[in-house]
Structure 1
Amino acid sequence: MAGHQRERVIQDQVHQNQFLRKQYLQELCMQKLYMEYHVNPLERLHDTLGVYPPLT
């Protein structure tokens, strides 16, 4: 028999707030993982002057 997860019953507002804060921080962390990116230094980018930095 497969174990079924029950919904978590939170007994008071203090624990409710702690649970929601934890969920919020986890979602914020995941959102940052998907939003942060960096420019590849080896890729040539379009420059307004038409001059590209030398690749080393």
Structure 2
Amino acid sequence: MKKYTTLMSAYGVAVGIDFKFGGTIANIMDAHRLIQHYQEEMSPETADKIVNSLYTQ
């Protein structure tokens, strides 16, 4: 794991990203299922709105 974090940190620094490793890692399978459901049952645009809402503050 140490080799991975060192490598990813170096890649990040090269493009201006300061990765922080650690903390809680969540299972996002249910979130993917929800997005897929709305994409199939409603529209890709609806799924996009859900995804975009996760990244707005």
Q: Which bin holds the TM-score, normalised by the shorter protein?
A: under 0.3
- Greater fraction helix: 2
Structure with greater Cα Rg: 1
